[in-house]
């Protein structure tokens, strides 16, 4: 255990060393695909199913009936599993959850041209916005204030710029970066029940740092309304509900940032949501230095952290926090997490050091 001191507050962190490979080979990119990896029991063996920064580990018995369904949405593969003694009841809950997910996808997904967020980016305004969009924008603005702009949903012009130059097998020049940065400022996004408006021509929004967490929370609420006490919820971030089918806490494997088939750590669910941001998800250079995480203040990707995993009371907060801390860096990020109730983090630096706050639910 390592003890760090911030001002008058003593904060204790567990620390361990894991190998980080900087061999210069490109990490596979999967834009639009699920980054999550599930481990589920088939014939008594753990089987790898799909890409992800977490893996959900569970065993099956005959005590409860299970309903399982997946769909593509929000740039990932959304997977829900509901456990109940009544199969019909579990099926109804899953049906209701996926109906809500369709509305969320139609509102918040940047991957759909007909979504409200895509309309905002094209036209600079959305009239009569969906309540879901307003809720996410309010949460985003709150985290922008709390992180002094490190979390900023108006970084989409940087993403577009890097995508364009990647097609030419190059990186943006300083002039292009300066022009893109001039469009970034969360405070120029105005919204109310009548309309959402971007006040800079060429500005654009991405909700990829918060929408998946928001969807996870919405699904969890619907499952609870349908009296589902035990479920695996993965809408891009993890929202375990209740216990696994054996009555034990869900175990979540946290993706190693450099080894796609390995874990940085195992987390044992304590009722909180878990979200991870990593520099490996989408890269623009083979050394991971240029990736999908952007510092709004510089236009470049953060240089210190390879991945950040946050446990928080809601998946919305965990999602936004993991992004913000990735931008803020080790010291500032850990200082922030210590000010937030029921929030903990596990951070992996690019040099391979792993630190976790004392309350992080790491499985022994």
Lowest mean pLDDT among 36-40, 175-179, 191-195, 242-246: 36-40
| Mean pLDDT, range 84-91, rounded to an integer | 92
The full 3-state SS of 57-122, as one line of letters, equals EECCCCCCEEEEEEEEECCEEEEEEEEECCHHHHHHHHHHHHHHHHHHHHHHCCCCCCCHHHHHHH
Question: What's the pLDDT at 159?
Answer: 92
Provide the token pair at 335. Answer: 């200082």
| Mean pLDDT, range 149-174, rounded to an integer | 93
Give bridge partners of residue 309 from the DSSP assignment: 276, 346
Q: Please check whether residue 101 lies inside any domain of the structure.
A: yes
pTM: 0.84
More confident residue, 153 or 9: 153
Q: Please check whether residue 184 lies inside any domain of the structure.
A: no
**Would the pLDDT of 23 be above 60?**
no
H or E segment at 208? none
Total number of domains in the chain: 1
Digit-coded pLDDT (tens) for 258-303: 888 888 899 988 999 999 999 998 888 888 888 799 999 999 999 9
Q: Average pLDDT of the chain?
A: 83
Q: Please check whether residue 188 lies inside any domain of the structure.
A: no
Q: Please check whether residue 248 lies inside any domain of the structure.
A: yes
Q: Please check whether residue 219 lies inside any domain of the structure.
A: yes
On the CB side of 348, how many CA atoms lie within 13 Å of its CA?
A: 25
H or E segment at 6? strand 2-6
SS3 category, 233:
strand
More confident residue, 225 or 43: 225
Question: What's the pLDDT at 54?
Answer: 56
Digit-coded pLDDT (tens) for 299-352: 999 999 999 999 999 999 999 999 999 999 999 999 999 999 999 999 999 999
Q: Please check whether residue 313 lies inside any domain of the structure.
A: yes
Q: Please check whether residue 88 lies inside any domain of the structure.
A: yes
Lowest mean pLDDT among 15-29, 200-214, 237-251, 303-317: 15-29
Q: Give 105's contacts (C-beta < 8 A, 6+ positions apart).
A: 73, 74, 112, 115
Sheet holding 54-58, edge to edge: 46-48, 39-41, 54-58, 251-255, 263-268
| Mean pLDDT, range 6-21, rounded to an integer | 37
Q: Please check whether residue 177 lies inside any domain of the structure.
A: no
Nearest alpha carbon to residue 53 among 289, 326, 313: 326
Question: What's the pLDDT at 261?
Answer: 85
Question: What's the pLDDT at 250?
Answer: 85
Distance, CA of 1 to chain centre: 27
| Distance (Å) of CA 83 to CA 56, 63, 223 | 15, 9, 10
Question: What's the pLDDT at 245?
Answer: 77
Q: Is the dihedral of CA 78, 82, 87, 89 positive or negative?
A: negative
The enclosing domain of 332 has a CATH number of 3.10.520.10
Residues counted in the chain: 364
Given a contact cutoff of 8 angstroms between Cβ atoms, the answer to whether 120 and 200 are in contact is no
For residue 28, the enclosing domain spans 2-111+209-357
């Amino acid at each position: 255990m390592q003890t760090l001191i911030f001002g008058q507050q003593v904060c204790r962190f567990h620390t361990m060393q894991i190998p980080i490979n900087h061999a210069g080979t490109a990490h596979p990119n999967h834009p639009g695909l699920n980054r999550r990896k599930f481990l589920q029991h088939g014939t008594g063996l753990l089987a790898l199913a799909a890409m992800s920064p977490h893996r959900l580990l569970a065993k099956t018995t005959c005590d409860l009936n299970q309903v399982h369904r997946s769909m593509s949405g929000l740039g990932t593969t959304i997977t829900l599993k509901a456990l109940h003694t009544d199969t019909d009841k579990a099926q109804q809950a899953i049906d209701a959850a996926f109906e809500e997910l369709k509305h969320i996808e139609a509102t918040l997904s940047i991957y759909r041209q007909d979504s409200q967020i895509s309309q905002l980016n094209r036209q600079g305004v959305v009239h009569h916005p969906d309540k879901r969009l307003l809720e996410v924008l309010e949460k985003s603005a709150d985290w922008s204030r709390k992180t002094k702009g490190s979390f900023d949903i108006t970084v989409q012009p940087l993403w577009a710029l890097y995508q364009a130059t990647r097609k030419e097998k190059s990186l943006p020049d300083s002039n292009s970066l300066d022009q893109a940065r001039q469009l970034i400022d969360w405070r120029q996004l105005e919204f109310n029940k009548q309309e959402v408006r971007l006040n800079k021509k060429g500005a654009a929004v991405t909700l990829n740092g918060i929408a998946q967490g928001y969807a996870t929370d919405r699904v969890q609420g619907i499952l609870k309304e349908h009296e589902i006490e035990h479920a695996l919820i993965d809408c891009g971030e993890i929202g375990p509900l209740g216990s696994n089918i054996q009555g034990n806490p869900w175990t979540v494997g946290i993706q190693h940032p450099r080894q796609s088939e390995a874990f940085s750590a195992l987390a044992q669910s304590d009722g909180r949501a878990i979200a991870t941001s990593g520099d490996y998800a989408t890269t623009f250079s083979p050394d991971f230095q240029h990736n999908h995480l952007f510092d709004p203040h510089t236009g470049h990707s953060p240089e210190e952290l390879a991945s950040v995993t946050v446990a928080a009371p809601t998946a919305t907060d965990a999602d936004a926090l993991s992004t913000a801390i990735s931008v803020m860096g080790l010291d500032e990020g850990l200082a922030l997490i210590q000010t937030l109730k029921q929030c903990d983090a596990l951070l992996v630096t690019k040099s391979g050091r792993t630190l976790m706050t004392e309350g992080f639910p790491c499985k022994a």
